[in-house]
Amino acid sequence: MASLEKEIQQERFATEHEKAAVNILFTSSWLHSLNASRLKKHDITPEQFNVLRILRGSHPKPLMLAEITSRMLDKNSNATRLVEKLRQKDCVSREICENNRRQVDISITEKGLSVLKSIDQDEATWMSMLKNITKQEAMELNRILDKLRG
């Protein structure tokens, strides 16, 4: 197990809080990179995966773009662009609402569901890298992260 100090070649931090912040950022980048690698073989990005998961969660009910954006992990992602890329891959559909012409309903397609099902096959492998911590430690980590954002 490599320490943060070894990983980023920094001997010390001004405070434990500074080290915690850097550690969260470093670990987030590490997880994002691993996630991007596993999704690459399915020809989607982590951000596109996030949109598909959101739409699968609401399926068969379509969502408006604002609803998707509000549920996204990265609020800075360009949801419009992500939805369009997924539409080009036939993973989502966009339909103008009959009752309100300004509203666009976005739904996951059968192909989108199939892509997620394929990714789900790798879920055990993906989660196995988190087995370095116990369930109790994961619960405590979640509690601390929630507290940090609260």
3-state secondary structure of 95: strand
Task: Extract the tokens encoding 143.
Answer: 């509690």
- The pLDDT tens digits of the residues spanning 52-100 come to 999 999 999 999 999 999 999 988 889 999 999 999 999 999 998 777 7
The residue segments making up the domain with residue 92 are 44-120
In a domain, 98, yes or no: yes
Do 60 and 78 belong together in one domain?
Answer: yes
Do 34 and 87 belong together in one domain?
Answer: no
Do 35 and 65 belong together in one domain?
Answer: no
Do 54 and 112 belong together in one domain?
Answer: yes
Do 59 and 37 belong together in one domain?
Answer: no
Question: Which is higher by pLDDT, 147 or 128?
Answer: 147
Do 24 and 85 belong together in one domain?
Answer: no
- The pLDDT tens digits of the residues spanning 87-140 come to 999 999 999 877 777 788 999 999 999 999 999 998 888 888 888 899 999 999
Do 49 and 22 belong together in one domain?
Answer: no
- The pLDDT tens digits of the residues spanning 28-55 come to 999 999 999 999 999 999 999 999 999 9
- Nearest Cα to Cα of residue 86 among 39, 51, 58: 51
In a domain, 72, yes or no: yes
| Strands (DSSP E) found in the chain | 92-96, 104-108
Do 65 and 105 belong together in one domain?
Answer: yes
Looking at the structure of the chain, the number of domains it has is: 2
3-state secondary structure of 8: helix
> What CATH number should be reported for the domain holding residue 56?
1.10.10.10
Do 37 and 48 belong together in one domain?
Answer: no
pTM for this prediction: 0.88
Q: Give the Cα separation of 61 and 92 in Å (integer).
A: 13
Do 48 and 115 belong together in one domain?
Answer: yes
Do 91 and 31 belong together in one domain?
Answer: no
